[in-house]
Structure 1
């Protein structure tokens, strides 16, 4: 390592940039290593959540203040380091995180006028000394864009690539930002406001190469009720419709709409016809990642007709908390690049479930050959479904993780043991060698006999990790059985997830009399 040149060391240290303990330890090896690590650390120094590092950050940053300001603040009891710096740290800095900076300032100084003065001086210094700001996090109450230095720092901000902000900020703040920064590629928005922020909309519209958009609701229950009591306060539609302008560039969407605290949310949702999200998504045809936590999409014939005609040819990751199985099928039918399908709850019409679930499996088999992570509803126990599922396993040779989600539309809910037997046989016959993780829902139980057969047949493959919420596997006999195959290297992990019995209703009864569950 001592003979490696600086370029090679830089590449190695870059790989460690998310491992703060290893990266910081490299500072102590020698001067040569220290000089190579510092540009990496100081590209975004605010992201390391280490107490002693925050204290060092404060000392270094305030050392850049003018001497007269240092003297003035020192007289008022604010600690200012008088050490000279051997390295110009801020010449490497390309980011400003106001939350972290304000936290550092509040730790090192008492509240009041002088802390406010210190804030202003530090932000002025950062804007002048940092070469080109690539990342800016303004999720803070301090209005940095009101500082006089902003106009002087315009060339530094024009190169901004990533912005994190929240909707409670004054819209005028975003108007100024939109005039200066029009090449932002990543926007992260925390929604704290029940009313639309027009400044956010203008900021989104002003961008010329937006690729990544993340929206997260973060407000209290009172705000939730404000939103859904009156559609005129809707904070979403205006901003989400602005995204359609970026259909040619946008490839990552991550949306989390807060709705879980409202017990009658779905009735409100249907009445207000919240279509801002689903109709926006129809136009974003270049998406590679789509992650949405929101109420279920409306079962609208007009929407589903449009959904049937759209294609997401570049989509690689689809994650949705709840979605109708038919709508999920429409989204993935032309997604030939899909690698990850994370659905946490499938909704369906019980009268159509048999046909819809069969079509869903067939669609994955025909279109998603590259799939690596797959969540699938527990389909009916029929020859057609099992045969189609077996074909899916044989075709999808990259499959690494398989998860089954509960469904309660099967004609006989008391077939859990039979289901486990048939399903384990299919998995043993057809599962690709790459499969290493399986999650079974409460609809699927395995007797000890079936488990032992499954583990015996699994020998020679990579160790399997299994998750289930069936608590009967905690019995002494089954624990010994599982431990036996852990010791032999067949099982990597066997996790029994915690769940509420009340949630599953009568599915949480003891196995019916005469079952072979404990055989």
Structure 2
């Protein structure tokens, strides 16, 4: 391994860039491996600050300061260590993370003014050293964009992470410098709109990825909606203008369902979250959609418009909570869909029979590439099982099947389980590796044994049961599972 061709070695190590443990181990093999790892490691060294000794990062960064600056800082009692470097580390770096760097700077001195001086010199040094800055994390307050060299260095910025507590003027400056940002990640800590972030998004010409994460904090005893001033609507309206380029949309909103609510939709009596629903109607080119928000309001206007939308490029759809009818509308034209991950389904009691049946038919007809599927536990009826069997026949790439309990028929849990396993053993593709079973489905010992016996010859399957108590109370199930784990029919089981 230590004598691998350099190009091959580089490709292998590049695959490890998200695994810091292995990446740092590679540094110790020999000089060739070390020379290969360093450029990869220093593309974004701040992401490894936990693994790196922070003091090592600090000394490397400060070693790039001019000698007269080092001498001046030393006289002020700031820790500076004169040392030669084995590599020109910063020449590989195109990423600035303000938060991490400011944390590292605190090593130099505990005095606030001294840290300010270090910030001035270190950021000036970094901006001069980098020929271009591709990635910038400005979850802090230091105004690096006002340095003389910033305009030239930041013109090629392709990814920005920021929070909404930063002064709007900071973003106005960025908006004029950087108009080719492809990925924007916003950590929202503000109860009202930050006009600077709105302008920054508006000015972009090739925005492909947008992520919004609420981290709003309110004082104890203060009701969240009483102080919220709408940080959302303007930004989500601006995002509609990027519908032609935006392909990854990741939204995590703060919301609270209180115990007194009789219906999940009652949350709209406190705050109107429809800004998200109506933004989605415009974003027709999405490939990845991830949403953690209140359930979409189920009204005729929105549903009629949703029926007309076609997400033809959608590959991954992950939503915390959604009505079955609405999710059916969203995926009915998604021929490229590979993953459908739903944490919980909502349904209308009067329409559940048809909605659940239509959902199965929609997946069967349109989503032939599906690999991960979340499906509501449907009624224990012949028509539903016939359609589910057709789904399994058509969706031969299916690797993971996750049943969610939204429909419960008392005294029919075992009957449903028997029918389900019979269909799976007849029609499930050889690619199926994982089955997740909700509370409303149970299996008898005999049915499980028959299923596992017939599963022999296929790749081992992982089984996840929500109702683990049902299987733990009878030791016969444990013996059965242990037997088939030994025979490598079962890869993993959570009971």
TM over 0.5: yes
Q: Is the contact made by 1:63 and 1:83 (CA closer than 8 Å) also made in structure 2?
A: yes
**What SS does the corresponding residue of 1:322 show, helix, strand or coil?**
strand
Alignment of 1:318-357 (within 5 A): 318-357=317-356
**Normalising by structure 2, what TM-score?**
0.95
Say which of 468, 471, 475 aligns to 1:473: 471
Q: Distance in 1 between matches of 2:219 and 2:274?
A: 22
Displacement of 1:26: 3.0
**1:256 and 2:252 aligned:** yes
**1:121 and 2:117 aligned:** no
Q: Is the contact made by 1:270 and 1:298 (CA closer than 8 Å) also made in structure 2?
A: no
Q: Distance in 2 between matches of 1:12 and 1:272?
A: 50
Alignment of 1:2-151 (within 5 A): 4-145=4-145, 147=146, 149=147, 151=148
Displacement of 1:221: 4.6
Alignment of 1:245-324 (within 5 A): 245-260=241-256, 262-263=258-259, 264=261, 266-270=265-269, 272-324=271-323
**What SS does the corresponding residue of 2:106 show, helix, strand or coil?**
helix
Query: CA 1:426–1:318 in 2, change beyond 3 Å: closer, same or farther?
Result: same
**Normalising by structure 1, what TM-score?**
0.90
Q: Distance in 1 between matches of 2:36 and 2:458?
A: 43
Q: Distance in 2 between matches of 1:223 and 1:72?
A: 46
Query: CA 1:424–1:163 in 2, change beyond 3 Å: closer, same or farther?
Result: same
Say which of 234, 238, 246 aligns to 1:242: 238
Displacement of 1:66: 2.0
Displacement of 1:332: 0.4
| Aligned alpha-carbon RMSD (Å) | 1.9
Query: CA 1:435–1:188 in 2, change beyond 3 Å: closer, same or farther?
Result: same
Q: Distance in 2 between matches of 1:428 and 1:339?
A: 22
Q: Is the contact made by 1:194 and 1:227 (CA closer than 8 Å) also made in structure 2?
A: no
Q: Is the contact made by 2:144 and 2:150 (CA closer than 8 Å) also made in structure 1?
A: no
Displacement of 1:10: 2.6
**What SS does the corresponding residue of 2:464 show, helix, strand or coil?**
strand
Query: CA 1:384–1:192 in 2, change beyond 3 Å: closer, same or farther?
Result: same
**What SS does the corresponding residue of 2:374 show, helix, strand or coil?**
strand
Q: Which residue of 2 aligns with 1:511?
A: none
Alignment of 1:226-237 (within 5 A): 228-229=225-226, 233-237=229-233
**1:419 and 2:416 aligned:** yes
- 1:428-455 Cα distance to aligned partner (Å, 9 max, x none): 1111111010000000011111111111
- 1:469-506 Cα distance to aligned partner (Å, 9 max, x none): 2112113221121111111111111114xxxxxxxxxx
**What SS does the corresponding residue of 1:344 show, helix, strand or coil?**
strand
Long gaps (5+) in structure 2: none
Query: CA 1:489–1:183 in 2, change beyond 3 Å: closer, same or farther?
Result: same
Q: Distance in 2 between matches of 1:224 and 1:297?
A: 28
- 1:218-244 Cα distance to aligned partner (Å, 9 max, x none): 12255997763377x111010011111
Say which of 196, 199, 206 aligns to 1:209: 206
Q: Distance in 2 between matches of 1:2 and 1:88?
A: 24
Query: CA 1:230–1:59 in 2, change beyond 3 Å: closer, same or farther?
Result: closer
Query: CA 1:455–1:49 in 2, change beyond 3 Å: closer, same or farther?
Result: farther
Q: Distance in 1 between matches of 2:355 and 2:413?
A: 21
**What SS does the corresponding residue of 1:71 show, helix, strand or coil?**
helix
Alignment of 1:477-516 (within 5 A): 477-496=476-495
Q: Is the contact made by 1:320 and 1:343 (CA closer than 8 Å) also made in structure 2?
A: yes
Query: CA 1:217–1:271 in 2, change beyond 3 Å: closer, same or farther?
Result: closer
Long gaps (5+) in structure 1: 497-519
Q: Is the contact made by 2:20 and 2:51 (CA closer than 8 Å) also made in structure 1?
A: no
**1:189 and 2:189 aligned:** no
Q: Which residue of 2 aligns with 1:504?
A: none
Query: CA 1:185–1:33 in 2, change beyond 3 Å: closer, same or farther?
Result: same
